[in-house]
Amino acid sequence: MADQLSRAFQALADPTRRDLVARLAADGDASVGQLAAPYDVSVQAVSKHLKVLEEAGLVSRSRDAQRRPVHLEAEVFDLMTAWIERYRRRAEERYTRLDGVLAELAADDEEEGAAS
């Protein structure tokens, strides 16, 4: 799990972390304490979740006295969308348009040719 895309998908695979992102998008920057309040886990656990989001580049943190305000970063979201869209579109083309069917027929011919 080295690359950025893997870290980003991994980060959003957790419902709590997705909820943190949702609330940051809705309410803007927030401190760790504010973010942890609605959950019934320790503040340390939320701090860990935020670290995962930060290492994935989905979030950044600045400093404001004792606070460490958490800030949503849009860039890596773009990367993820780009990756998904690329293959979703190809999948749709392949299986809903005519040349998808033609490609399948060609594959069948190839198999039968190899078998005989």
Partner DNA sequence: CTCTTCCTCAACCAATCGGTTGAGGAGGTT
Partner DNA sequence: AACCTCCTCAACCGATTGGTTGAGGAAGAG
Say which entry of DNA, a second copy, none residue 42 contacts (CB below 5 to 8 A, set by partner kind): DNA
32 and 47 in contact (C-beta within 8 Å)? yes
On whether the CB atoms of residues 14 and 51 are closer than 8 A, the answer is no
Question: 42-71: which residues touch a second copy (CB under 8 A)?
Answer: 71
Q: Give every CB contact of residue 23 below 8 A, 6+ residues apart in sequence.
A: 30, 35
5 binds, among a second copy, DNA, none (CB under 5 to 8 A by kind): a second copy
Take residue 12 and report the two structure tokens written for it: 């959003």
Site residues (vs a second copy, CB under 8 A) = 1, 3, 5-7, 9-10, 12-15, 18, 21-22, 24-26, 28-29, 71-74, 77-78, 80-81, 83-88, 90-92, 94-95, 100, 103-104, 107
